[in-house]
A and B are shown apart, each in its own frame.
Chain A
Amino acid sequence: MKKITSLAAASAIAIGMVSGAQAASATLDSVKDKGFVQCGVSTGLPGFSNPDEKGNWQGMDVDVCRAVAAATLGDASKVKFIPLTAKERFTALQSGEIDILSRNTTWTQTRDTTLGLNFAGVNYYDGQGFMVSKNLGVKSAKELDGAAVCIQSGTTTELNLSDYFRLNKMTFSPVVFDSSDQTVKGFEAGRCDVLTSDQSQLYALRIKLADPSSAMVLPEVISKEPLGPVVRQGDDQWFNIVKWSLNAMINAEELGLTSANIDSEKDSADPSIARFVGKDGPKGSGMELSDDWAYQIIKQVGNYGEGFERNVGSGSPLKIDRGVNALWSQGGFLYAPPMR
């Protein structure tokens, strides 16, 4: 009996010792200490996050991480990209392996509220669509009853898909793969009739087919998929930095600031531009950033529109229209709060 009580006492001491040692450390401090931002990206999705032949990461999602690195460290190249499968992504963020998850991740209530995550904004408004082989002769998603559908596991598309089919009283057999590469291979091998994913991804995946013109994307969009960068809950400062890095890119496009003209526009009389480059207004103090943080983002990464054209728009093999991803003033959804 005596032994047991002394044991219990000893283990209680041990517990006390460890729990005392813990203290929340701010993400910004650890980023500055390490000298780089750890950014979770996909294992390869053209246009969003994809390594080129030399292993340099490129894409819309990659640009968000580079922008954060430019804002916090003054150097957009100080990013360590960590490729994650869809399965790993949230646990990698929760566990602190990465500082930002920027991996075409859909903003949903469950993810925002129960996983200990915060969505910092939307960098691409997407919707789920279907890609089929042209020689199937299918014109609408309503004709897909009984089809075999390739999906990537652990995505919202998996859930939307079964909702959509159930709602339309159709059946399907799901063929689930771990990575988007595998889904394309499965589709190409004829394992499934339909490939479903976010529409932007469908365009990206289509160029991975041996003959991209043999497949077509159906017109139906069956869900809302706002994609955006994600951070851990509990560090509001870091949350703000990521949120405003994205806002700065959108505001810059609205102000007409690009990586090419920002140096000449820096001294413009326009008060919004003066606030943007940190000559006036809130500057970076509220986020413990340098005053020219937004200037660094645009100088090194470019504004939202530049990134869009370069990665997924006309300057890329994907050739996606701006569509709803245009500025609010041009008929799209992009509307960033003012920087003042």
Chain B
Amino acid sequence: MPSDVNKGVAPSSKPKFWNDPDKRAMLFQILMILTVLGFFAYIISNALYNLKTRGITTGFDFLDQSAGFEILLHLIPFDATFSFGRTFMVGLLNTLLVSFLGVIFATTLGFVMGIARLSDNWLISKVATAYIEIFRNIPLLLQILFWYVAVLQPLPLPKQSIEMGAAFLNNRGLYLPAPVFESGFGFVMIALAIAIAAVVFLFRWNKKRQDETGQRFPVIWVSLGLLIGLPFVVYLIMGSPMSWDYPVLKGFNFRGGATIIPELMALLIALSVYTGTFIAEIVRSGILAVSSGQSEAAQALGLSKNRTLRLIVIPQAMRVIIPPLTSQYLNLIKNSSLATAIGYPDLVSVFMGTTLNQTGQAIEIIFMTMAVYLTINMIVSMLMNLYNKRMSLVER
């Protein structure tokens, strides 16, 4: 009967709302938003209440107060009269310094060891394997503490410094002559910039020429000449507008020059050695991921082993390598925060340590510190993603 059919259809065309996935999803999401908002409201109101009843000062006014303490290593001018806000900058720059150097050293070490592990030479491959298996499986914090002892202990006191030309090495650090730039040095920098631009152009031109004619041009030597020669000529023309500030032993320690403090050395060694093991494994698996037909074909074409690696294998392996390499770089940057264990004045040690202590404003300072790491992380991932995109475009 038609009426029965209608009866049967009517309920199914209008299901109960909890049986409709869309509505259910909507409800669920609204609930979730409410829970999250409620949660934040809860902890924020708690925090405000606690801060108020306990009479703890809040706000960011402390950033303008003068710091009153000194920092061992500062890339920008700093002394006790500068503000707490400045300590933030000093700490941040020190973090960036150690991260930047760490990334370079770790990458170099990682590539060398990763390739060495695949070497035909039994000893080399075993040494690389031993390095990877040992240092990968020991906590980084322990390695930092160990290297600090290992760096400090064998070095002599300032009065018995090891002399290396104009540089001195002792347990207060490595003292190097520092360049002092006089007026006119700007032209030398301009010359250097021009040389760099010329080298970039040269490389592109050479690649194009090689693609078209197969002829190679000794780019390496020419560009080295350009990079060194051009600034040097300008330097001479301008009448040597630079002098050196030599470190001199005066009183207890060396004065003048530039210093690489032992904390930085220990931290750099530990970070590069530790991260290097992971990069080595990434490089190795990247190389293994390139099918062996590729290197066999290259050998059949008569390319040397070195060239096969450089021109055929690594460019293809890069595609596999870059994503995990990015996360290793991010790890290294985050791990640089362990500096606080040996007193290297990075962001965590200076800002989340001393500044937090002198002002007592934990919430503001911890959030600022976390925000910095998040931002650095986001910037690095973005850059590496860009690079990765360029690399993967090569794919057909």
Contact = CB atoms under 8 A, between A and B. Distances in A.
B70 A114 contact: no
A22 interface: yes
Contact of A153 (B37, B57, B252, B354): B354
Contact of B55 (A10, A172, A233): A233
Interface stretch (B45-53, B192-200, B293-301): B45-53
Interface stretch (B228-236, B269-277, B324-332, B339-347): B339-347
Interface in A207-253: 232-234
Nearest to A113: B55
Given A11-B38, A162-B68, A153 B45 contact: no
B288 interface: no
Nearest to A135: B157
Nearest to B341: A178
B37 A234 contact: no
Contacts of B9: none
B42 interface: yes
Interface in A173-199: 173-178, 182, 186, 189-191, 193
Nearest to B340: A178
Contacts of A18: 41-42, 45-46
Interface residues of B, number: 48
A15 interface: yes
Interface stretch (B201-209, B278-286, B355-363): B355-363
A175 B49 contact: no
Contacts of A191: 152, 171-172, 262
Contacts of A147: 251-253
Given A159-B69, A163-B68, A175-B72, A146 B55 contact: no
Residue with the greatest number of chain B CB neighbours at <10 A, chosen from A14, A163, A178? A14
Nearest to B355: A154
Contacts of B6: none
A176 B343 contact: yes
A174 B70 contact: yes
Interface string A243-274: 00000000000000000000000000000000
B55 A189 contact: no
A87 interface: yes
Nearest to B62: A114
Given A154-B354, A173-B253, A175-B343, A190 B171 contact: yes
Given A11-B38, A154-B356, A232-B54, A159 B68 contact: yes
Contact of B41 (A15, A148, A162, A190): A15
Classify chain A: how many residues form its interface, as a range: 35 or more
A116 interface: yes
A153 B346 CA distance: 13
B352 to A, nearest CB: 8
Contacts of A190: 152, 157, 171
A182 B349 CA distance: 14
A178 B353 contact: yes
A114 B54 contact: no
Interface in B43-93: 45-46, 49-51, 53-57, 68-72, 79-80
B121 interface: no
Contacts of B72: 173-176
B260 to A, nearest CB: 13
A22 B46 contact: yes
Interface string A38-50: 0000000000000
Nearest to B33: A7
Given A163-B80, A178-B340, A190-B157, A94 B252 contact: no
Contacts of A173: 70, 72, 172, 253
Contact of A162 (B49, B53, B80, B171): B80
B368 to A, nearest CB: 15
Contacts of A11: 34, 37-38, 41
A147 to B, nearest CB: 5
B251 A145 contact: yes
A56 to B, nearest CB: 28
A10 to B, nearest CB: 5
Interface string A88-127: 0011001100000000000000110011100000000000
A134 interface: no
A309 interface: no
Given A22-B49, A232-B54, A162 B70 contact: yes
Given A7-B34, A174-B72, A178-B341, A19 B49 contact: yes
Contact of A178 (B54, B57, B68, B343): B343
B54 A146 contact: no
20 contacts: A18-B41, A18-B45, A19-B45, A91-B362, A114-B55, A115-B55, A115-B360, A116-B51, A146-B251, A146-B253, A147-B251, A148-B172, A162-B68, A162-B70, A166-B79, A173-B172, A189-B149, A191-B171, A191-B172, A193-B253
The 6 closest A-B pairs by CB, nearest first: A154-B357, A116-B54, A14-B38, A116-B55, A162-B80, A116-B56
Given A86-B357, A146-B251, 18 more contacts: A14-B41, A15-B45, A90-B360, A94-B54, A115-B57, A146-B252, A147-B251, A153-B349, A155-B357, A162-B70, A163-B80, A174-B70, A175-B343, A176-B349, A190-B171, A191-B152, A193-B252, A234-B54
